[in-house]
Structure 1
């Protein structure tokens, strides 16, 4: 038996915080919208993306018009070219749909993904400016009616937007943005599939595809300070 003066249970610590044992409420849209910093940064990134989109047709027309370098590519030299445009865009648009439906209910993740996407485009514009290239030998023209009409919108097809692969990078960025789980695994599988398919199409050099993860990582890391934490 316990002595009479021995407490049956230890008293709570004066420094204990009962709220620490309670899970933090989810960072929902109503909670996010009440934060002025979130509203400001969301409006800013959307405005910057729209401004960039308005300038891209002119920029890509300039990229297409200037002369570039033809690079040796041992892998493409051994890989027969085939038109796999339908497969490429089926995977890309399915991945975008999966990524956006996952991110829309998660405002903090969505905001960071938008900033990362902006930085990714700026990095790609920079690499295209620094490294003018001619299309790989045996190129089979990619046909994407949506992007051709809204982004490139040039008299001639755009084939020199090469380094780095934007198709591969977009899916990989979505894979980083969604929570861990089957959706991330599906987007990573889609990234690998698109990277392989654009090589089959000879729409990119091997270097373009292999470099994409580096620039996605740079954009994702850079987006950390531009987004608003849910904590």
Structure 2
């Protein structure tokens, strides 16, 4: 798959490395239904990543890890039909976040799984994941364009550097506002836009966290808010009813 992206898309890839021990990924699901996971040999993963950075001068890392096959599970069936959470996503996030936090380089994960039986009733949103065993090509394409992380204290700023203070708006599912990025941006002038239609298993609404956010019904509505925000138009001016300006007491 990696060589195929080099031959067809012209991606510039380094050589690869195999970890010195299996990662032993375990999939878990919380009582709320959110997926998560554990890695028994995370030190093996970090050693491999360090070798890629030091010897191959990798600027981004794609990880392919063998994941447990869970064919026939309720969670997997619901996900394939567009009704449930991704049972792999929580463990995948642990892998990529660990490398990013440790080495400050972009990282994305592609799970290695046995192929599932063909099913003509798949959800369109899940269908693309049925055509490959690891989804590695799309991961490599994304990483080839990934922005590099910059330590502003140690590195000179380039003209195309994007700083957190330059972010004007953040769009997030309305029940998933508990991530570190959203919490951080909530302390800045950035507009937090919470989308109700993207339902999740999380229970972290803006109200429960004390985050000032503009809630919208759909991503299409969120796009309209972004356009208005960029043009300097108050989104409230686009509603049928506008509250009058109040006198300061």
Q: Whose RCO is larger (CA < 8 A, sep 6+)?
A: 1
Question: Quick check: TM above 0.5?
Answer: no
Normalised by the size of structure 2, how large is the TM-score?
0.20
